[in-house]
């Protein structure tokens, strides 16, 4: 025997509060979504956008509200750093295409990015995001147009190449180091640990430190075993002295 199916409609807030019978439909008039219920999932499951254009364009800004855009594909123009993707409904997905160079700022709660690091976009890059509640979003996939992904965080810069090569680097403009501990016939400074911007996989990476100080010919050396996540270095010199150094770190290995 056939049964009639009730179709309700209302705001997103009203929709999220409902758990309807299996097969019942609800039209979310806020997000222009059609949802189908299963008697289990609060708010039901989105099955279609209503009267949605194939894509919409939004300007880059600190907050780009992709969840309220009336399209599943959003084109972001501009170069302003993005720190938030705005509020939306849990489970909403968006495909975001970038036309310029900008920074997506990683946040462990509100903007979760692959590798837990900032991403610098390039024209043609595409990201897939899912809302994980409120103003919190997670990037499920980031595809670089050129196949190369560049990013940075407090530990330095990194470049991930399509063939699996990973390059990490860190430049320290000015730091005072006491190279005063005797290591006959040389002297060395307090060893310092560099944690890579993102970890390597597989074989241990090649690492190096190049120091520079006016009037000196100092050099850097590994002072402990290298790991996939970090390396430790010390500066050597033939004379005992405290000086200001510029430091350039590099590590080369694999990300896949």
CA-to-CA separations, 247 to 128, 132, 235, in angstroms, rounded? 37, 40, 10
Domain 166-254 has CATH 3.40.50.2300: no
Sequential DSSP letters for 38-95: -SSSTT-EEEEESS--S-EEEE--SB---TTSSSSEEEEES---B-B---B-TT-EEE
DSSP letter (8 states) at residue 12: H
Is pTM beyond 0.85 here? Answer: no
pLDDT averaged per 10 residues in sequence order, the chain, 256 residues: 69 83 80 79 72 83 93 94 94 93 95 87 93 94 84 90 92 96 94 95 96 93 94 95 96 92
Q: Where in the chain is the domain with CATH 2.60.120?
A: 56-153
Numbered ranges of CATH 2.60.40.2080 in the chain: 166-254
CATH 2.10.10.30 segments of the chain:
7-49
Q: Are 139 and 127 in contact (CB under 8 A)?
A: yes
State how far the Cα of 133 lies from the Cα of 77, in Å rounded to an integer: 25
Question: ∠ CA 206-250-227 to the nearest 5 degrees?
Answer: 50
Topology annotation, domain 56-153 = Jelly Rolls (2.60.120)
pLDDT at 110 (0 to 100): 97
Q: What is the pLDDT of residue 167?
A: 97
Residue 202: what pLDDT?
Answer: 92
**pLDDT score of 52:** 60
CATH pick for 7-49 out of 1.10.10.1590, 2.10.10.30, 3.10.129.10, 3.40.50.300:
2.10.10.30
């Amino acid at each position: 025997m056939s049964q009639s199916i009730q179709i309700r409609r209302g705001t997103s807030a009203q929709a999220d509060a409902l758990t309807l019978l299996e097969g019942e439909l609800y039209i979310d008039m806020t997000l222009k979504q059609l949802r189908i219920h299963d008697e289990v999932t609060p708010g039901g499951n989105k099955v279609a956008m209503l009267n949605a254009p194939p894509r919409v364009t939004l300007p880059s800004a600190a907050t780009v509200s992709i969840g309220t855009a009336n399209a599943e594909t959003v084109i972001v123009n501009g170069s302003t750093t993005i720190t938030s993707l705005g509020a939306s409904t849990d489970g909403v997905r968006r495909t975001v295409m970038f036309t310029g160079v900008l920074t997506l700022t990683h946040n462990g709660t509100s903007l979760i990015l692959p590798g837990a690091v900032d991403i610098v976009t390039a024209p043609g890059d595409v990201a897939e995001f899912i809302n994980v509640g409120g103003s919190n979003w997670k990037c499920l996939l980031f595809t670089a147009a050129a196949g190369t992904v560049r990013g940075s965080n407090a530990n330095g810069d990194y470049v991930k190449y399509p063939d699996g090569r990973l390059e990490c680097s860190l430049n320290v403009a000015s730091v005072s180091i006491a190279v005063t501990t005797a290591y006959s016939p040389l002297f060395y400074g307090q060893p310092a640990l560099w944690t890579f911007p993102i970890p390597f996989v597989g074989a241990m990476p090649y690492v190096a430190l190049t120091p520079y100080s006016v009037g000196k010919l100092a050099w850097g050396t590994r002072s402990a075993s290298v790991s996939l996540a970090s390396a430790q270095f010390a500066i050597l010199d033939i004379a005992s002295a405290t000086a200001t150094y510029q430091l350039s770190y590099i590590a080369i290995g694999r990300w896949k």
